[in-house]
Chain A
Amino acid sequence: MGEKVNTCFYQKTMEMVARQIGYYNGIDSTSISVEKAQEIYESCLYTLQILWQQNLVKEPQVLDTSLELMLEEGRLVLKDKVQRARQGWNQLALKGPRYGNDFYNDTVREVGAFFDRYDIFYGAHLIPCGIDYPLINPVSEELKGISYIELYLNRLCLENHFLGLYQEKSIISILKNTVGDVRKSYYNMAEEVFMTSLSRWITGDVREEASDSSLVGCQQEAIKVLRNKTCQERWMLLSKGCDIICRDAEFGGMKLRNYFGRLIDDFYIRL
């Protein structure tokens, strides 16, 4: 933003926040704690940012348009995002994997509670739920409110889509052999399945059903194989393996391929 717009925006924001605090207090109170006022302020800023990000507002509009109107528009965008995220969560809760991991189950339950607790008026930037299940690609902590939840659910759905390519008993067998306590351990299910599949492919184990013995230490076996190759060969092998593992996805194969890129990079570095 230009300096003029910046100053004007700042003044208008202060006036708007004062009015929003007035609405929050209603007739019950004339004052508010600085902490809560700051929270309302951040909520307003986040809501306006959503409009900015979606290019629904242009810079000159900041000078001419009432920020309250922009705030209203932003809240409509937020409502729409919440609705779509809730639909995504419903699918996840109904069709998601049920391998009994406590962190996964608790997180899915908590994200469900998010939709009841989320306050688009005075706490739009907050994430009122606990998220413990780790993703392969964690969502940046800089993302706020529904933006965080939206991206978290998208990534979780993608990971679940990948897990859906495998039979349930194969997944349980892999998890039991790699993490041990499937229920209580803190791990990412898709990562374990992907890394095991990749390691098996590298070691030439192409059987549909893997025996428990073939799963134990298969990553170490793969590392041994890769260490006998040149850097370029290692990279080629890892990339090809990733392509093959992801190609079975009916849709989003490329998306999966990109998503698992970080795992490939990490594995390559470990060599």
Chain B
Amino acid sequence: MNNITLDFNYEIFSVNAKKEILACNEYTERFGLVLSDEDAAQLVENRREALKNTERIEFGGGILPKLIFAFCDSPYLDQDNFKDTLMQLQEAFYYYKGESEDAIADDELVECMVKVFNGRAQGSVEYLIGTSLYHLSRYAKSQFDPMDADSMEDLF
């Protein structure tokens, strides 16, 4: 009994996750954003990879529904980049979560990511991913004036 290692049946969790992702369409379609069955399946697969890479496990719909609700009203998202951006955001989320050693709550982290994505990063996931957790939290707390972007530090 001592030598058994964790081996959860991810298939069960994947079915639930897909359903939960598709249920978000009801809310996001008012922003012109809809995920297809195939998109949801890809997001679930991407989640599995992201979790594996960051050595984490998750149950149920996971963080995706939260990310979808938090980012769907972003002016930088449209139907064309919605799924791909969600994939990158998902990866970034798990990376930050691991970096923080679980000290930061999901909601707090998502809030920081939204603030930086819509503010300083101006919709660039690359910029967001390139920001350290420390700076992410710092930037989220500071004001960002898009009209005065030049005076901000380290902007791309």
Q: Please, could you name 12 A-B residue pairs with CB atoms under 8 Å apart, sorted by A?
A: A21-B57, A28-B105, A28-B106, A29-B97, A30-B58, A31-B58, A31-B94, A34-B56, A36-B102, A38-B6, A45-B2, A45-B4
Find chain A residues with CB under 8 A from B101 CB: 33
Partner of B58, one of A17, A32, A38, A42: A32
- Count the A-B residue pairs with Cβ separation under 8 angstroms: how many? 59
Whether B57 lies near A34 (C-beta < 8 A) is: yes
A30 with B1: in contact, given A14-B8, A17-B6 (CB under 8 Å)?
no
Q: What residues of chain B have their CB less than 8 Å away from a CB belonging to chain A?
A: 1-2, 4-9, 51, 55-63, 66, 94, 97-98, 101-102, 105-107
Whether B4 lies near A31 (C-beta < 8 A) is: no
Whether A29 lies near B4 (C-beta < 8 A) is: no
Roughly how many angstroms separate A17 CA and B105 CA in the complex, as a whole number? 21
Partner of B6, one of A22, A31, A37: A37
A interface residue count range (under 10 / 10 to 19 / 20 to 34 / 35 or more): 20 to 34
Q: How far is the CB of A175 from the nearest CB of chain B, in Å?
A: 39
Whether B62 lies near A10 (C-beta < 8 A) is: no
- For B102, the closest partner residue in chain A by CB is A29
Instruction: Tell me the interface secondary structure of chain A in the complex.
Output: helix
Partner of A30, one of B5, B8, B60: B60
Find chain A residues with CB under 8 A from B98 CB: 33
Find chain B residues with CB under 8 A from A18 CB: 8, 59
Q: How far is the CB of A129 from the nearest CB of chain B, in Å?
A: 21
- For B2, the closest partner residue in chain A by CB is A45
Instruction: Tell me the interface secondary structure of chain B in the complex.
Output: loop
A38 with B5: in contact, given A31-B57, A31-B62, A33-B56 (CB under 8 Å)?
yes
Partner of A35, one of B7, B9, B55, B107: B55
Partner of A31, one of B7, B9, B56: B56
- For A39, the closest partner residue in chain B by CB is B6
Roughly how many angstroms separate A34 CA and B107 CA in the complex, as a whole number? 21
Q: How far is the CB of B76 from the nearest CB of chain A, in Å?
A: 24
Roughly how many angstroms separate A17 CA and B59 CA in the complex, as a whole number? 11
Whether A29 lies near B57 (C-beta < 8 A) is: no
Find chain A residues with CB under 8 A from B105 CB: 28-29
Contact with B along A2-19 (1 / 0, CB 8 A): 000000001000100110
Roughly how many angstroms separate A34 CA and B52 CA in the complex, as a whole number? 9
In order of increasing CB-CB distance, the 10 nearest A-B pairs are: A31-B58, A28-B105, A34-B55, A31-B56, A29-B106, A41-B6, A30-B62, A30-B63, A37-B57, A38-B6
Select the residue from B57, B61, B66 with max chain A CB neighbours within 10 A.
Answer: B57
- Other than the known A28-B106, A37-B6, A45-B4, what 18 A-B pairs have Cβ atoms closer than 8 Å? A14-B8, A17-B6, A18-B8, A18-B59, A29-B97, A29-B102, A30-B58, A30-B60, A30-B63, A31-B51, A31-B97, A32-B56, A33-B101, A33-B102, A34-B56, A34-B57, A38-B6, A49-B1
